[in-house]
Amino acid sequence: MSLPNSDLGDSKPGREGLGEAISADRNDPLAIIAIDDDPGILGFYQAAMSGPGVEFGSSTDPHEAMDFIVAYNPGLVILDLNMPGIDGMDLLHRIKRFDAQTRVVMFMGKVANDTAAKAIQEGAMDYIRKPVSADKLRELVTRVRDLRAREKRARTLEQELAEVSNLEGIIGRSPRMLEIFDLIRSVAPHFRTALITGETGTEKEIAARALHNLSSGKNQPFTGFECGAMADDAAGLFEYARGGTAFLDEVGKLSAAAQFRLLHVIDKGNAQELDSPQARQVNFQIVASTSQDLQAEAQSGRFLPELWYRLNTVQIHLPALRERMDDVLLLARHFLARFSTEHAKENLRMSRGAEAALLSRSWPGNVRELENIINKAGMHATGRILECGDLPAEGS
């Protein structure tokens, strides 16, 4: 395996030389690996394609070449269709299993058109008939460089879009979510009570934290309470949230006695300190959440109507994920970036097939379900690309 390069003079390093040269700056130069059983043809490719900003490696041994493709993930692989020991189409399959996004151009002699078409169907970027001219090779280098430049611009734009699609941890760019962003920004500096509604898994607590983080009490505690486990004397718990925000998760599960105590706290602005008989004035904000139809619960008498009115001063409804499908891939990429770091797997990406599979799901568990799926897939992924087969079955 050699890597002649204009930046390296006339040296022809072996395995170690190739590794050092490509790893010097993988994100900038275009690394090309050519595989052909004819050393003379490889020498011709080298002469035509090497130059500033190009790192060229070649091999007559497909197995050796595959090792370097795995190690360095080159920007372009030139692959001869007919080689002894391993068929070019078989090697194409191996490359695509490693990274479905690798650009592979098949070089082939006189073969039937259906063979060329099959190479494209199997994931080759293009095919070129032999013999090939030096001009054609240089055109290929220019073409791949242009593709990489467009992809880099697209990644930059995607990153900028991701930044404006994130409000204090809430991810979204669909019209529904952008309206919610505007509502949270407008009410956060002024609210005293707020109600966040939505199905289980729609990230109501994250929305509550966003309200807190943008409020005047942002430097004070954010304290969460599970209402299903809250004692009847709930008012004492507000001492913990003094000056900050008390988040009441699933407020519809409060007992009748706790509902009356909470209404008193909201109306009077005082709470009884834990282990103390003396009530005291406290300053805090309340954000309650529910996955129930709390208005219907109040109308039926199962929830205190006066408390419903107090909490519903500001209502923020988070849509189900199936109602904001424009956000599925944005959320999936956000989670994948996070779990890539947590699982120490560099730059995991999704194949188009995996993205299509995510868009075909019904998402009964909403954003939480999507987060769990990407976590599982990222944890078990063996390559750089998540494929359909890496995703857990729907409902699992």
> 166 has which bridge partners?
171
For residue 272, give the 3-state DSSP assignment.
strand
Q: What is the pLDDT of residues 163-209, one digit of tens each?
A: 778 999 999 999 999 999 999 999 999 999 999 999 999 999 999 99
Nearest residue to 210 via CA among 238, 185, 193, 227: 185
Asked if residues 161 and 173 have their Cβ atoms less than 8 Å apart, the reply is yes
What mean pLDDT is reported for the chain?
84
Map out the domains of the chain as residue ranges: 6-153, 173-317, 321-390
Q: Which two tokens stand for residue 16?
A: 């170690």
Tell me the one-letter amino acid at 159: Q
Residue-level pLDDT at 371: 96
Q: What is the pLDDT of residues 42-55, one digit of tens each?
A: 999 999 999 888 99
Residue 22 has pLDDT above 60, yes or no: no
Q: What is the pLDDT of residues 305-320, one digit of tens each?
A: 999 999 999 999 999 9
Across 122-131, 135-144, 262-271, the highest mean pLDDT is recorded for 135-144
Least confident among 2-16, 111-125, 190-204, 297-311: 2-16
On whether the pTM is more than 0.75, the answer is: no
Q: What CATH code is assigned to 321-390?
A: 1.10.8.60
Percent of the chain scoring above 90 in pLDDT = 50
CATH class of 6-153: alpha beta
Q: Where does the chain have alpha helices with state H?
A: 15-23, 39-49, 62-72, 88-98, 113-121, 134-164, 175-187, 204-213, 256-268, 294-300, 305-311, 328-342, 352-359, 366-380
Percent of the chain scoring above 70 in pLDDT = 86
Q: Is the peptide bond before 131 cis (omega within 30 degrees of 0)?
A: yes
CA separation for the pair 35, 77 (Å, rounded): 8
Asked if residues 168 and 287 have their Cβ atoms less than 8 Å apart, the reply is no
Strands 270-272 and 279-281: antiparallel
Question: Which residue did the predictor score with more confidence, 99 or 92?
Answer: 92
Average pLDDT over residues 109-113: 74
Residue-level pLDDT at 28: 67
Residue-level pLDDT at 345: 81
- Decide: residue 218, CB within 10 A, 0-12 exposed, 13-18 middle, 19+ buried: middle
Q: What is the pLDDT of residues 218-241, one digit of tens each?
A: 999 999 999 988 777 675 666 666
Nearest residue to 352 via CA among 100, 155, 106: 100
Residue 286 has pLDDT above 50, yes or no: yes
Domains 6-153 and 321-390 belong to one CATH topology: no
CATH architecture group of domain 173-317: 3-Layer(aba) Sandwich (3.40)
Q: What is the pLDDT of residues 76-94, one digit of tens each?
A: 999 998 887 778 889 998 8
Question: Which residue did the predictor score with more confidence, 48 or 351?
Answer: 48
